[in-house]
Structure 1
Amino acid sequence: MKKQTFIIGAGLMVVVLLIFGAGVGAYTGYLGLSWDSGTAKIDDPALAKQLQTSKQQDSDDGPEAIDILFLGTNAMESAPGPADSTASTGFLTDMIMVVHIPADRSGVQLVSIPNDTWVRVPGHGQGTVESSAEDGGLPLAVQTISEFLAVDIDHVAVVDLAGLSALTDLVGGVEVESSTAFESGGHDFRVGSNTLGGEAALAFVCERTAFPKGDLQRIRNQQEFIRAVGTQVVSSDYEFNPVKMSELIRVLSPFLTVDSGLNASKLVKLGTQLKGISEDDFDFVTAPTEVPVVTDGDGVRLTADRGGLEKLKQAIADDTVSDYSFRAEDRHR
């Protein structure tokens, strides 16, 4: 049976977005206060320069497409936080996604970019896409990914992936389907169904060295986890329970660092516009790459499939990513 409201997330971000959409009246204001007081905000000119600003206000013709860069890290000691005076502190990424919200607000598309994808890093020559965050923090990461996908990034969010562990424990665990058997962090995952607690969930979404395809398999696991946690949140009726919604925001917000424009007011507006979407309106896409190449240092280099990448870039420009996802070779529903 089709769910009327499907709460899901790029890790955490879209979970939060749709919870704001489910809130009502004064209670939405309370959720907003919890969000604004709990999340770390970065208000830095170098980052603001890289973020798109012309789409912040809806036009007379209605809403425009929104693109949010979502970076996950399992090493938050190096990530930007409230004590930082700038956003330029380098940090390591374990997850790179662009959350694309189309102008008609008919769904959400999550575009994963493999960390090992070889790209042009402005001012640093060629390198992996993950090196942009390590070399120049959020401003350089936004600039690099914006250029790679030919997309204007409106907002950016960095999540401590430990938040996925906290989310998993909060909802009582999640059930994921694994396409391969592997071990990580003392946790054994079998082919088929696996029920995960918080620590196992973190291992499931962060592991990549155990797989011949490395980051490509990790992305599949991340997308599977997002699907599974969304299903679990829906089955627990969070959108209909103000106490549960409040607790979810309270638990998640400390794990998020966002640009100053991604405030409660913005989330309420976007969440309200997305209120009617369902499980079938979410799509996962991975930026297309060629066969992985092992480098001299035993690292892996992924070269973008130029033909496939151009089709993805055109779909983003035309706001037809949902249609593209049905034709894409590597998609996850």
Structure 2
Amino acid sequence: MTMPIDDLMGSGDNDGSGRDSTTKEKRRRRRNRIILLTVLAMLLGIVVAVAGGGLWLVNRYLGAGNIERIPNAFDIPETDRPSETTKDSLTILLGGLDGGTVVDDDQPGAARTDTIMMVHFPEGRDRGYVVSIPRDTYIDIPGHGPNKINAAYSFGGPALFVQTVEQLTDLRMDHLMLIDWTGFTGLTDAVGGVPMEFSETTILNDGSELPPGRHVLDGEQALEYVRVRKSLPNGDFDRVKRQQNFLRSLMNEVIANGRISSFGRVTDIADAVGDAVRVDENLSALDMARMAWSMRDLRAGDVTFLTVPTRGTGRAGQQSIVNYDDALATELWTALAEDEMNAFLAENAELVTGEQVR
């Protein structure tokens, strides 16, 4: 889809234009919504652009100078990859690394993917699905045999990580994004904190607690919230839900309420994204802008968060693992590929992450 140049560069209104103030306010909100969608979507793996800020802003903040690139992320034999879909869908793989910075973890053995999410948008881009795969899910890693899925990155870097997920899902990944969870503390602070409502006492990773009620988490609190695992009743399953819950709250806050109010806020947020995120080298700034425009009507409520079907935990030798439910997961991947998620989720509502999370 081609973006009208007036919408990409801004409306051009000024105080002397005589335009109705309501119309100008609507245009301002529309531009802000696209910017906000961009920033938040990057954390979800929705690699889009600052379409409302002008082409120069896209190149400044999403070009080679600010967002680090992942080289050779798709260095996979074509015969080993799923077929390209004829539909105008979009699938992005998101990996959160468990150590170091996203810039230095290209090489095999450097890190494992502590967080794995697959983000899928069907044709039309009017809704999205974020599917988390627990890091201890025991599956086959190409060339290495059965192992926890988070070992793929350690064994073979970004390309093997992509290949492993493609083999598991039979879905072709269009793009790859790597995030550093510590880096998104700056993003949380840049948007002024994220409001979250807790129905019960909530334990943070540093041992502190938040009483029931509404809290506005700053960057450090947000990081402690998404890092908890051992003290949660269901361990990594609950941590996955916390990560999803936080991202949803972040989207709800800034997309719905328009937290970007100044150019300074835009640049602060863009800089924070640059510190936390890397994308594959095939994704240009203009591609990101086009993606953003194609998702201009998307709202936080249009994104469904869920976890891949599993059959509980078990053991593989000395390892604690998550047992992958191959039959039900295959139904999920097929439903995503064939745009039949409404029917699938109607029968498997327990996979969806609800509003109340431990």
Aligned-residue Cα RMSD (Å) equals 3.0
Residue type matched to 2:196 in 1?
V
Q: Equivalent residue for 1:170? A: 190
Alignment of 1:254 with 2:275, yes or no, is: yes
Tell me the distance in 1 between the aligned counterparts of 2:192 and 2:153.
33
What TM-score results when the alignment is normalised by the length of structure 2?
0.78
CA displacement 1:198-227 (0-9 Å, x = unmatched):
111111112211123111100110111001
Given residue 20 of structure 1, which amino acid in structure 2 is its aligned partner?
V
Distance 1:171 1:50, change over 3 A: farther
Residues 1:316 and 1:209: Cα distance change in structure 2 (over 3 Å): same
* Gaps in structure 1 of 5+ consecutive residues: none
Aligned match of 2:111 in 91, 103, 115? 91
1:184/1:207 contact within 8 Å kept = yes
Question: For residue 158 of structure 1, what is the aligned residue in structure 2?
Answer: 178
- Asked if 1:107 corresponds to 2:127, the answer is yes
Per-residue CA deviations over 1:61-109 (Å, capped at 9, x if unaligned) read xx611111001124134x5x2x67x654541222110110112111121
1:188-267 to structure 2, matched below 5 A, reads 188-190=209-211, 193-235=214-256, 237-238=258-259, 241-267=262-288
**Matches of 1:10 and 1:211 in 2, distance apart?**
27
Instruction: Give the Cα separation in 2 of the matches to 1:325 and 1:31.
Output: 36
1:264-306 Cα distance to aligned partner (Å, 9 max, x none) = 1111111100101223311112101012225664x53111122
Q: What residue in structure 1 maps to residue 151 of structure 2?
A: 131
- 1:33 aligned partner: 60
| 1:311 CA displacement | 1.1
Higher RCO, 1 vs 2 (CA within 8 Å, ≥6 residues apart): 1
CA deviations on 1:134-155 (whole Å, 9 max, x unpaired) are 2211111111111111111111
**Aligned counterparts of 1:64 and 1:16: Cα–Cα separation in 2:** 16
Q: Which runs of 4+ in 1 moved over 6 A?
A: 50-54
Q: Report the Cα distance in structure 2 between the residues aligned to 1:34 and 1:281, rounded to whole angstroms.
A: 26
Question: In the alignment, does 2:168 pair up with 1:148?
Answer: yes
Note the C-alpha offset of 1:189: 3.7
Tell me which amino acid in the other structure corresponds to 2:118: V
Q: 1:12 aligns with which of 43, 48, 53?
A: 43
Q: Helix, strand or coil for the counterpart of 1:184?
A: coil
- Length, aligned pairs only: 316
Deviations 1:26-72 (A, max 9, x none): x243233221111111232x63336979869xx7xxx6111110011
**8 Å contact kept, 1:88–1:139:** no
- The sequence identity of aligned pairs, in percent, is 26
- Secondary structure at the aligned position of 2:50 is classed as helix
* Unaligned residue ranges in structure 2 (runs of 5+): 1-28
Instruction: Give 1:188's aligned amino acid.
Output: E
